[in-house]
Amino acid sequence: MMGRNMQPLFEKHFADFSLKKAELAELHRLGISQETYESYLDTRKTKPTIADCCGPLRNIAWLRQQTEQEGGLRELGALLLKHQEARNTITALTGLHRLFSLGAACDWR
C-alpha cells in the first residue's frame, strides 16, 4: 500500500532507467533495497511497481526531497504518521506477547 501511494515519485525518478540492473543499482545507492539481482528480478515479476519492490521508508530524506519537488509534503506527512502509528502498535503488541510468553513459562501456582 505504501509503495502504491509513492509510485508517482518512483516513476518520475526511475523514468530514465531502462535496465533492471540500473534500477537495482539506484535502489542500492538510495539505501532502500539490499536485494541481489536475481531476487530483484523475481520480486519485479510479482510486484507491479518499483516502489513495491523496495523499502521506501528506509530513506525518509530522499522521500521528503522527492515529495517536496512535487508539492506533496502534506500527503507524505500523513503517510509517515500512519506508518509510525502502525510501528507503535506492533511494538506494543510485541511487548505484550513477550510478557504473556514469559508468564506462561513461569509456574504461578
pLDDT at 75 over 80: no
Q: Find the angle CA(23)-CA(56)-CA(6) to the nearest 5 degrees.
A: 90
Q: How far are the Cα atoms of 5, 62, 76, 94 from residue 86, in angstroms, in the given order?
A: 16, 21, 15, 12
Instruction: Encode burial over 9-21: b for 16+ CB neighbours within 10 A, e otherwise.
Output: bbeebbeeeeeee
Percentage of the chain beyond pLDDT 90 is 34
Enter the pTM of the model: 0.67
